[in-house]
Structure formats: C-alpha cells, structure tokens
C-alpha cells in the first residue's frame, strides 16, 4: 500500500497532449470519461478499473482511501496530467488526502453533483441514492448543507445496484423490484431532485426515472464533473488540441477485465478491446 509520490514532482506535466487518468472500482467511472470526451474530444484516457476490489461500497473507508491513493499514484506515473476519481465512494473518503499527496489536479464527483442538485431543486428537498460507503460518510449531505444549510436531504444506500449493473441486469424483474424498494423511502420524503450518487447508476437512469416519475429531476454527477475538469484544464492551458483517436486510450484492470469489455463499452459508448493487467498490490 501507499504508492504516494513526492508532492514536488506531482503533476509537473505541462504537455497538453498528455492523457487524463480516470479510475473506479469497476466500469462506472467510464460515465465520467464519456462525458469528458463529449466536451473535450481530443483528450486521451488512462482508465483504471480496480476490478480486484469491486465493489468498494462495503469496504472500510481507510482501505478505500489506500486504494485511491495507490491508483492515483499509478496514473500519475503513467503520465496523467490530471486524475478523476470516477467513483463517489473514493471521492467521499480520499479526495482531500489524494490532493495533499499528489497535487490539486485531482477531481472528485461529489461537489459538482451537489452544486447541480442545489440548482435543480425547487422545494429544497433532495434525495441521494448511493453505495453504503458513500452514505455512511454523509458526504453528499455535508456538501449540500455546506452550500445551503436549510436543505433537507435523505440518503439511501443501494447495495445491490452495482453488482446488477456490472452483470448488465438493467431492467430485469429483480432489478425493478430492488429499485422500487430503494426509491420508496426517498419519494415518501417528498424530494423533487435525486442525485445518482454512484457512477454506475446512470445505466439505470431510464428505470429510475420511470419509477420516480417525470416530476423528479435526476442529477448525474458524472456530467457535472466533466464540466469542472474541462474548465480547469482550459484555465491551465492543458486542453489537448488534437483530433479524436480512440486507439490512443489505455485501459487497465487490477482483476478480471470481463466487465470492462462487455458492460464498459456500453458506459463509454465505444468498443474496448485491449485491457492491460495492472496489479498494484502483491
């Protein structure tokens, strides 16, 4: 554990053509990558799927923090000019430690999602559906009330969602039953806005919207994070001016790469063929 780099050498990359690192425990972070490529199509990706430890949700926060620091260090060593924690769970427990270790160009997904939810709500009642680990940190409640103390927030853990998404069960009878159960207390709370507090959840968005109803606004933090990263890269003059080149992306998996090749292609919106094995932990 603990592949932390000397802060003095973190993010010294000044080459706009350098890649952007994105990571998650599985395929969910590819929703952030897809949103980023939509805004900045010339960028190259380094995507790390920590499939050896998926899902992060039930794991202790200290262990998740160690994983996030190690993966961030690995991506920087591979030449990343910025790193995105494409995972709400790691963003909740590891964003600030990672910035302290590696520098400021590390981004999480919680603050951008919270800001978007605040803009969207009309009744100041917001629901958050997320992993158990994210909910246990109260990261979204803290972020939202930090922006507006009077907000009423309900956070609902959804432990079955990530395994269902990773298996591609996006609209099965069981998935519908589980989704109904998770949303019932959130909707009874009287929310008008629901944050998809895990980057795997956008693949369930059509089902969630159907069950929640058209009057509920769903917030995808992946899209909001991509906007924040794009703005930061423009300010730092680090936007890649090149043309899109899908073959320039690199994909790493710490364990079984199967879900990256199958479900991951759906998340990214393009085929994923070559996945490199990257075991950071012996």
Active site residues: 87, 198
Q: Where are the beta strands (DSSP E) in the chain?
A: 20-24, 45-49, 82-85, 106-107, 125-130, 152-157, 193-197, 217-219, 250-253, 275-277
Integer angstrom CA distances of residue 148 from 80, 114, 153, 211: 35, 10, 11, 28
Residue whose tokens read 């929703």: 31
Q: CA–CA separation, 70 vs 85, rounded Å?
A: 12
Q: CA–CA separation, 182 vs 184, rounded Å?
A: 6
Instruction: Tell which phi-psi region holds residue 256, choosing left (phi > 0), alpha (psi between -120 and 50) or beta.
Output: beta
Determine how β-strand 45-49 pairs with β-strand 250-253: parallel
């Amino acid at each position: 554990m603990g592949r932390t780099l000397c802060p003095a050498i973190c993010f010294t990359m000044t080459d706009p053509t350098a890649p952007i690192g994105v990571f998650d425990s599985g395929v969910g972070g590819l929703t952030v990558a897809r949103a980023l490529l939509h805004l900045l199509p010339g960028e190259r990706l380094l995507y790390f799927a920590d499939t050896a430890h998926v899902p992060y949700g039930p794991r202790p926060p200290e262990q998740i923090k160690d994983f996030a620091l190690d993966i961030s260090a690995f991506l920087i060593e591979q030449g990343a000019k910025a790193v995105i924690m494409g995972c709400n769970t790691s963003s909740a427990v590891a964003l600030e430690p990672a910035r302290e270790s590696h520098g400021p160009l590390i981004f999480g997904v919680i603050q951008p999602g919270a800001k978007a939810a605040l803009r969207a709500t009309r009744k100041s009642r917001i629901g958050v559906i997320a992993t158990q680990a994210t909910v246990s940190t109260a990261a979204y409640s803290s972020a939202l009330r930090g922006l507006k103390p009077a907000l009423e927030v309900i956070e609902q853990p959804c432990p079955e969602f990530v395994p269902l998404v990773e298996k591609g069960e996006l609209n099965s009878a069981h998935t519908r039953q589980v989704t109904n159960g998770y949303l019932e207390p959130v909707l009874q709370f009287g929310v008008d806005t629901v944050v998809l507090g895990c980057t795997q959840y956008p693949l369930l968005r059509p089902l969630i919207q159907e069950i929640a109803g058209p009057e509920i606004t769903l917030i995808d933090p992946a899209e909001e994070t991509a906007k924040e990263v794009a703005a930061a890269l423009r300010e730092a003059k680090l936007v890649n001016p090149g043309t899109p080149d899908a073959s320039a992306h690199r994909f790493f998996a710490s364990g079984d790469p199967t879900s990256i090749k199958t479900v991951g292609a759906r998340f990214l919106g393009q085929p994923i063929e070559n996945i490199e094995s990257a075991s950071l932990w012996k």
